[in-house]
Structure 1
Amino acid sequence: MSNYLAIAAVTATLQKILQDALQLEMPGARVTTVKPESNSSNIPEFGVNIYLYQVIPNRAWRNADLRTRRPKGDLIKHAQAGLDLYYIMTFYGNEVEFEPQCLLGSTVRTIIDNPILSPQMIQETLSQSFSNRLNSRLDKRVEQVTVVPSNMNTEELSKIWSVFFQSPYVLSFACQASTILIAGDKPSARALPVKRVDFYTTANQPIISQIISDGENNQPVSFASKLTIQGQQLAPDIDEEELPELDRRTNRRKRPLARIQPQVKIGKARLTPQNITENEIDLDLASLTVEEKSLLLAGVQSLQIVYSMAPKLTLIEPERVIVSNAIPFILCPTITTEVTIEELEDDGDDLYSGKLNVEVDVTVNSQQRVFLFLNEKSFADPASYIFVAVFEDYNVNCNLLKFPIRDVKGGEYLVRVQIDGAESSLDTDANEQFIGPSVNIGSVVGASR
């Protein structure tokens, strides 16, 4: 693969090939590589000028490099670009003696006699004149550069001279050099190779059909809920106590891979269920540790069953797992303590402002949408309000939520919290009337449940 110097190396090689040919047939002729302008002092009085006027992507190589990196940015291969170079050659000399036409004929013959820029041609060119600045690696390529005459009509020729050069027309001839492959040079990390590839199949794909909360369908799920996960092929193949030991002499397993004790994966947390049968798995969320609860956020959660595959061939072998399908559910917050009021101020007309403190049993991220709902406990024109939580530190998760309130009518209010669409529930009495959590705003500063 060539580097960024490849284009200049092709031009230099063309210049040398033509210069060597003209020296034998038309002594004194010079070959230059400048822009063909009539007022330029570098244009030869007798000779040929080679000018690269256009570079376009090669059609055959356009789609050969669609993906050079994995989705995470890891380098798969160095990028590359396939280019076609378009040259226009202009001829100068005594028109009466037909020198430009003789130079044109010699140039065309030289190009058709040398349709391929061989590695030897490129090495000779670079070693003679450009050894220090054109180390392009063009001569190391497997696919060689070809040079062929281009078909250019009168309209295209007139556009080139009128737009590119804006100078009087000179006898000219066009050719194309292709394909020049330029490689990218951006470094990247690469993972170690895979040492060994093992294949296995399992006939018992675990499938979850539904999740039941507290023995009933369509019940809200909270940290006080007992989940029953129903499905098929949920039991493990073997218990962990039955795992076979490794045969270290033959370095082979004594039995095929099998599923062992499953875990319930909710979000980033892996939880251990209480009871496991072929068609049901029970998970008591009330038994979760504080650390496990901190990994779960209120809102929509994805639940899967994860089975480790055993036994391992070596102690450092990475964990192999098989997972079930994913089932979504909504984890609702619960208000755990009294709702308190700080900085209560009387705004007049029986309206109050302050700050409500609400503690919930789930960890709340500052990026979540958190709202407070207040509904007055009154049968005559009850008032209702919605307020947004504020976070003192947006980099720290918390359980205590603070809601600034303003212009709230004095009275007793039922309190609910909504986090990413998951809403806390209200307590009811024997008559199924809502009784709490509640807060008194105005005459009594405090809270009751």
Structure 2
Amino acid sequence: MSNFLAIATVTATLCRMLQAGMIKDVTGANATSVRPNPTDSGTPTTGVNVYLYQVTPNASLRGWDLPTRSSGGELIQRPMVALDLHYLLTFYGEEIELMPQRLLGSAVKTLHAQPVLTRKMIEQTIQEATYLGKSNLADAIETVKFTPIALSLEEMSKLWSVFLQTTYRLSVAYLATVVMIESEDSPQKALPVRDRNVYVMPFRQPVIERIVSKDGEENPIFADSTILIHGRKLRGDITKVRIGGIDVQPSSGNVRDTQISVQLPPGLHAGVLGVQVFHQFMMGTPPVPHKGVESTIMPFVLYPSIMQIDVSDDPEDGLGLAIKLKPTVGKKQRVTLMMNPMPGSEGRSYYFTAPSREEDSDSITIRVPGVETGDYLIRVQVDGAQSQLAVDTNPASPAFNQYTGPKVTIP
């Protein structure tokens, strides 16, 4: 890579190459590198003037050095910029003898025959120009190459009338590419690598097929239930289960490739919950768990359980039921109460909605105005999950195979 003198070195070497080529064809031809001006001050009487009128980033190498700094802002490699140089070659001489055109032909011939700045040419230019003594363009990996630019009549007219603001002279444009300029800042060197942690992991995404209660596939799932997760590729290096947003790590003895047995964690709410199996991998020095693959989410219904029912009769608020539930009811969950007459008794059914709560609670109070006296079966529905009724399974009982509770007596 080259230092800040690279652009000036290219210009000086180009002038030297053009002058060496033209002097063979036109005696006394000279090459300069000044800005064209109305008085032709500094331009040759007979010869070519090389003017760098534009510099653009090289499209193919732009940003190839990134990243140059770490996330902490520390320099990790020297910044480098790749540039293309746009030159305007203007020819001067006696118009009657067509000198500008003869010089143009000589310059085009020279650049077509030698479109590359060789290291030897650059070194000779640096030796002659003391102000370029510290240039290291000759050591650059990429050599600078020249190609003609086809400027339209409008582009050439704007260049002279707007940009240079002087009378037009016979000119041709060339592109020099690519000039690589590198910063002289020294990046901080990282310590040598002591351990190489390279891992190849097979892609084994766990798949959940169904979720059932350990007590039986037809049994509902309650807060204190153990669930069985059936599927494929469930076992990993570290297997965890996410239930309703709570992560649980089952014991290794309860994890198989096709089934996981896990106790529901505390803190869940009744309703539709999602279950997800995810794997972690031990990596690093020392080894620590890293995120791996995850299954898609499989839903199941967590049913609420009625733990206790108390009847209250407030002189102001009227008749109400205080119901203790498991699991805890979230403050934003919708709770409804359903009351049905006991089997064999007459009466109507009732449906009530619980008022909103300011915080999570395992006990709710629902006012039941207008309920007739009698015995009622009680069900509570939380976000669509309904508590279960008990069934008499004693064949000798008069209420065999009938619902028996939970029940409440309204006085």
* TM-score of Structure 1 vs Structure 2, range by shorter chain: 0.5 to 0.7
Distance in 2 (alpha carbons) for counterparts of 1:56 and 1:151: 17
Q: 1:284 aligns with which of 234, 250, 263?
A: 263
Equivalent residues in 2 for 1:90-239 (5 A)? 90-96=90-96, 98-126=98-126, 128-131=129-132, 135=135, 137-152=136-151, 154=153, 156-181=155-180, 207-215=206-214, 224-232=224-232
Task: Output the amino acid matched with 2:230.
Answer: Q
Counterpart in the other structure of 2:33: 32
Deviation track 1:88-130 (CA, whole Å, cap 9, x = no partner) reads 1112344345443454344334434532112233344445244
2:12 aligned counterpart, secondary structure:
helix
Report what 1:272 is aligned to: 250
Do 1:333 and 1:361's aligned partners in 2 also have CA atoms closer than 8 Å? no
For the residue of structure 1 that corresponds to 2:262, the secondary structure is strand
**Partner letter of residue 271 of structure 1?**
Q
Report if aligned partners of 1:221, 1:330 keep a CA contact under 8 Å in 2: no
1:303 alignment partner in structure 2: 277
Query: 1:372 and 1:231, CA in 2 relative to 1: closer, same or farther beyond 3 A?
Result: closer
Q: Given the alignment of the two structures, is residue 328 of structure 1 paired with residue 302 of structure 2, yes or no? A: no
C-alpha separation between the residues in 1 aligned to 2:43 and 2:218? 87
User: Is the CA contact (8 Å cut-off) linking 2:9 and 2:132 kept in structure 1?
Assistant: no
Tell me which structure has the larger Cα radius of gyration: 2
Q: Alpha-carbon deviation of 1:39?
A: 5.4
How has the CA–CA distance of structure 1 residues 381 and 326 changed in structure 2, closer, same or farther, with 3 Å as cutoff? closer
Q: Given residue 250 of structure 2, which amino acid in structure 1 is its aligned partner?
A: T
Change (3 A) 1:91 1:220: farther
Q: Is the 8 A contact 1:18 1:31 kept in 2?
A: no
CA shift for structure 1 position 171: 1.1
Query: Counterpart of 1:32 in structure 2: which amino acid?
Result: S
Matched to 1:285, the amino acid is L
CA contact (8 A) 1:227 1:285 kept: yes
Larger deviation: 82-91 or 266-275? 266-275
Q: Tell me if the contact between 2:204 and 2:233 (Cα under 8 Å) persists in the aligned partners.
A: yes
Question: In structure 2, what is the Cα distance between the partners aligned to 1:77 and 1:432?
Answer: 79
Aligned-partner SS, 1:169: coil
Structure 1 Cα separation of the partners of residues 33 and 263 of structure 2: 85
Q: Specify whether residues 119 and 85 from structure 1 end up closer, same or farther in structure 2 by C-alpha distance, changes over 3 A only.
A: same
Contact 2:32 2:43 survives alignment (8 Å): no
C-alpha offsets along residues 409-436 of structure 1, whole Å, 9 cap, x if unaligned?
A: x968x9999xxxxx6967677679999x
Compared CA separation, residues 62 and 199, structure 1 to 2 (3 A): closer
Q: Secondary structure at the match of 1:95?
A: coil
Could you give the per-residue CA deviations for residues 3-50 of structure 1, whole angstroms, max 9, x where no partner exists?
66544442233234335666786548450232x342574555554322
Unaligned runs of at least 5 residues, structure 2: 305-316, 318-326, 339-348, 369-378, 391-402
TM-score by length of 1: 0.52
Superimposed CA distance per residue, residues 115-150 of structure 1 (whole angstroms, 9 cap, x where no aligned partner): 211223334444524437x74x53223331112344
2-side partners of 1:411 and 1:32: how far apart?
A: 97
Where 2:95 maps in the other structure, the secondary structure is: coil
Q: Is the 8 A contact 1:304 1:327 kept in 2?
A: no
Q: Deviations over 1:152-178 (max 9, x none)?
A: 565554454345434321111222222
Q: Helix, strand or coil: the match of 1:143?
A: coil
After TM superposition, the score normalised by the length of structure 2 is 0.56
Identify unmatched segments of 5+ residues in structure 1: 236-258, 310-314, 336-349, 351-359, 363-369, 390-399, 403-409, 418-422, 436-449
Q: Percent identity?
A: 27
Counterpart residue number, 1:372: 332
In 2, Cα distance between equivalents of 1:66 and 1:200: 29
Q: Secondary structure at the match of 1:115?
A: coil
Contact 2:47 2:92 in 1 (8 A): yes
* Equivalences for residues 55-74 of structure 1 within 5 A: 55=55, 61=60, 65=64
Between the aligned partners of 1:191 and 1:230, the Cα distance in structure 2 is 48
CA distance in 1, matches of 2:49, 2:117: 19
Moved more, 371-380 or 223-232: 371-380
- Give the deviation of 1:328 after TM superposition: 1.6
- Per the alignment, do residues 429 and 198 of structure 1 end up closer, same or farther by CA in structure 2, a change over 3 Å counting? closer
Is contact 1:47–1:103 with CA below 8 Å preserved after alignment?
yes
- Contact 1:210-1:327 within 8 A present in 2 as well: no
- C-alpha contact (below 8 Å) 1:334/1:361 kept by paired residues: no
CA distance in 1, matches of 2:196, 2:100: 68
Q: Assess, with a 3 A threshold, how the Cα gap between structure 1 residues 375 and 170 changes in structure 2: closer, same or farther.
A: same
Deviation at 1:275, TM superposition (A): 1.9
Q: Could you tell me how far apart the structure 2 residues matched to 1:263 and 1:40 are?
A: 82
| C-alpha contact 2:380 2:387 (8 A) present in aligned 1 | no
